Amino acid sequence: MSPLKFIARSLIDMDTQVLSTEAIAHGVASGQFTASEVLAAYLQRIEATDAQVNAFTTPCLERAVQEANAIDQRRARGESLPPLAGVPYAVKNLYDIEGLVTLAGSTVNQANAPAQADAFLVQQMQASGAVLVGALNMDEFAYGFTTENTHYGPSHNPHDLSCIAGGSSGGSGAAVAARQVPLSLGSDTNGSIRVPASLCGVWGLKPTFGRLSRRGTYPFVHSIDHLGPFADSLQGLSLAYDALQGVDAHDPGCHANRVEPVTVALDQGVHGLRIGILDGYFHDHATAPARQVVQDAAHVLGVTHQVTWPGAAMARAAAFIITASEGGQLHLDHLRTQAEEMEPLSVDRFIAGALQPAAWYVQAQRFRRVYREKVNALFDDWDVLLAPATPVSAPTIGTEWLDINGQQMPSRAAMGLLTQPISFAGCPVVVAPMWPQGTEGMPMGVQVIAAPWREELAFRVAHVLSQSGAAGLKKVSF
């Protein structure tokens, strides 16, 4: 059987693990198959499934072919290949891709000039040998947790096409879950990587605030925005994260002054780590399946200690104020001249944010400073903390209200209940995909949270969950 037919067959038979991120990179480097053959198989998968999933908005086929050919030529010359050589990936459509208009999920951006250069993280991925195949669906201007985009259509959850994929990086989570790409890039302000990772059952990483450069991406909330990857395996997530790291002197918001690889730390185990389970707010706002995924993870890790996160509810409120204020100010011109062309599900929130008193914003930022000090002090006693990533599994597209332990909450805001307090503190989080009972086969994720700048600790804990079989991807039915 030819390599292409073998790869294409394995994409249909989702029980196989041959095409994990690390297996592709190894196979291309060893000559088991070429980057061009891998690309052809994944493009076949995208063509066969995206009418149902609606993860992609803009393909980059010509570029993808050129990048795959370049990898094959390097191998033919006997050159050593970079760590992600030949691995297809796609990016949320708020990342600049040279020659394409950066949509950020909107139609008002369609008249903008094409990007003159790739985003910094796209450059990092290209340098690592990864092959860019396209841009992915999202909530307009990243304001949402559901990717029910009125302009481009909703992204569908590959595990149940009637359900949401989460947001705002819904296309990024859905594309990996549907095995359209093994890697994708998204953004996370209040939970926009962690929510889709949880609902779609894939691995996701929100790094420390300021760890990765945001240069060349369309902003949402400058003071909270993070960028990060999704992956089909924890090993793949670590390879992507290591590739994305880099000091960028041209991004004043990037505070990392060195690269700290995590791939080499995966198998160090958790002996000696102080691991706790977040109680209080994170227990009270989680349904039974969400609590179960944390207990399942805790059982594997052998931990029982309960820990209280300081000021979680106030942090979420402050995050809402800052999000609305900065988002509204960023889009004042759009609101004044093109409001009727904006996403009807979020335009009123942008308007409300633009009208907020400045004193609210200032007070929220003052609280944030004190809050981060309390969170950092918590990590004097703990290394890693566990919490659910979402309060429920993926609801049906169009769901307006969620019942969370008898309390009715608006669906599009409540999906971020458990993620907002964490990103507001800037802590790194790996989302491990879990499969609890009581969700009719739908996934939910557990947040593995570490202190700022300690991503490697979250990866070590996640590695134990992965190796135990408690966390990982499952096949989809199409």
Q: Which residues are catalytic?
A: 92, 168, 192
Using alpha carbons, list the distances in angstroms from residue 389 to 166, 219, 283, 403. 11, 23, 11, 17
150 and 345 Cβ atoms separated by less than 8 Å: yes
Provide the token pair at 186.
Answer: 């998204």
Distance (Å, whole) CA 253 – CA 255: 6
Residue 469, classed as helix, strand or coil, is coil
Provide the token pair at 300.
Answer: 């594997």
Q: Which stretches of 13-117 are DSSP H helices? A: 21-30, 35-53, 61-76
Distance (Å, whole) CA 418 – CA 281: 8
Using alpha carbons, list the distances in angstroms from residue 397 to 154, 307, 314, 361, 458. 8, 34, 29, 33, 32
Using alpha carbons, list the distances in angstroms from residue 314 to 193, 287, 353, 420. 22, 21, 18, 10
Give burial (CB, 10 Å; 0-12/13-18/19+) of 369. Answer: exposed
Q: Which residue has the tokens 């790739």?
A: 118
- Cα angle at 189 between 184 and 192, to 5 degrees? 45
- Residue 195: closest CA among 465, 383, 410, 443: 443
